[in-house]
Amino acid sequence: MNAEIIACGTELLLGQNINTNATYISNSLSRIGLDVFRHLTVGDNKERFSSAIKEALSRSNIVITTGGLGPTVDDITMGTLASVIKKDLVFNKKIYKYIKDSFKKSAFKVPKDAIKQALIPRGADWIENKVGTAPGLIIKHEKKYLIALPGPPRELNPMFEKDIIPFLKKIQPQKWIIKSRSLRLIGLPEAKVNEKVKDLLELSGHTTLGIYTHLGQVELKITSKAHSEKSADSNIKKLEGRIRKRVKDLIYGANKETLQEAVGNILAKKKKRLAVAESCTGGLISNLMTDVSGSSKYFVTGVVAYSNEIKVNRLNVPKELIKKHGAVSKEVAKSMADNIRALANADIGIGVTGIAGPTGQTKKKPIGLVYIALSTKSKKIVKEFRFQGKREEVKLQAAQQALNLLRLNI
């Protein structure tokens, strides 16, 4: 069996949006051993879209379309699919009820055009969209399958994961499976991690290793192609063992685990309560920590103390300390960490002060200079960092290093 993916969207042909859906879908299909022959993008033009679908159906068993399922006039997918399979559009009560209920929850009136989203080609199966109102569809047509999915990735991805993948697994006589596992690292740049695992990156055969860099982090991705889940898992485990021997301390988690989840888990397990005083990170550390469900158990409070005035009045940083060493200094970071811990009655305090840019630097204190302090009853640590990049990038790297300091010292 093989598949083709057709995106419908003039904005893609104008270069206003990147077609990440084709990549996401292809990646998911490759993991269940389904070959993708083509990605195609056409504009919001019924004739061209329709001839593209027919052409794809003549070559492949599965044709997946993305986009064009909204309520507006340039949303042409339903009508196009109906004409390709030569059926009429019929009103689907269940979909309409679902759309009405969504609007009820949001306390808005149901708009008139919403009814358009409930008109689907006769015989199509509805795939529920938990995030938006655009429905998904699976249509069986002459022993082949047409699958229609909405354009926004946040709507498409969960539908694909929950409904489309299980459906495809069911209809596909499976031969190979491809499994991957990503190890997530922080603490060394890519080039340094690369040196430590260079020979493993050169492995060929059915189990391979890739290295990818994300701002402030490195990902090591193990991929195994095998005839069974069990054998893929065992191959992955073996290679993971070899990697861990070399970079154990750098690995904070695997697959989709985030650094804030890893840190949150340690805090929860050790029953430690955290409070954060942020200057240059401006609330980012608090925001990351509270992205994790259940963080109220260990995250006590965060204070964004941008100005000296707030550092003094709300965090009790001594005025003289700022005068003597400057607001961006080891001493102030340490005082912020100590004081927020005491003020919030927490076990651990974090203090961050630095220069995020693009202004604010001096000769001795360049953009990207950041001090991060950690304070517990028995431990006092202050570290100096020099980050590169734009304002948001400096903020993110500083926040990540603060979380890493926590991870290694709770």
Cβ(204)–Cβ(267) under 8 Å? no
- Choosing from 58, 88, 93, 107, the residue that interacts with a second copy (CB under 8 A) is 107
| Binder of a second copy out of 33, 46, 61, 74 (CB under 8 A) | 74
Name the one range near a second copy by CB under 8 A: 85-93, 238-246, 277-285, 329-337: 277-285
Interface with a second copy, residue 102, by CB under 8 A: yes
Does 28 engage in binding with a second copy (CB under 8 A)?
yes
Candidates 33-41, 118-126, 137-145, 401-409: pick the segment binding a second copy (CB under 8 A): 33-41
Residue with tokens 């990503």: 182
CB 240 within 8 A of CB 248: no
Q: How far is the CB of 143 from a second copy (least distance, A)?
A: 23
Q: Does 271 bind a second copy (CB under 8 A)?
A: no
Does 70 help bind a second copy (rule: CB under 8 A)? yes
Residues 300-339 that bind a second copy (CB under 8 A): 300-307, 309-310, 314
Helix 391-409 with 259-270: angle, nearest 10 deg: 30
Q: Which residue has the tokens 């400057």?
A: 326
Stretch 229-248 residues interacting with a second copy (CB under 8 A): none
- Torsion over CA of 110, 116, 118 and 124, rounded to 10 degrees? -170
205 interacts with a second copy by CB under 8 A:
no
Going by their DSSP bridges, the two strands 380-386 and 369-375 should be labelled as antiparallel
- Angle made by CA atoms 55, 59, 65, in degrees to the nearest 5: 60
Cα–Cα distance measured from residue 243 to residue 311, given in angstroms and rounded to the nearest whole number: 44
Which residue's CB is nearer to a second copy, number 23 or number 174? Answer: 23
What phi, psi does 237 have (nearest 5°)?
A: -60, -40
Does 23 engage in binding with a second copy (CB under 8 A)?
yes
Instruction: Determine, following the binding rule CB under 8 A, whether residue 71 of this chain makes contact with a second copy.
Output: yes
Work out how close the CB of 386 gets to a second copy at its nearest, in angstroms, rounded to a whole number: 6
Please name which of 194, 238, 242, 236 lies closest in space to residue 218, comparing C-alpha atoms: 194
**Of these, 125, 294, 319, 323, which contacts a second copy (CB under 8 A)?**
294
251 three-state secondary structure: strand
Based on CB atoms, which residue is closest to a second copy, 125 or 291?
Answer: 291
Q: Does 195 bind a second copy (CB under 8 A)?
A: yes
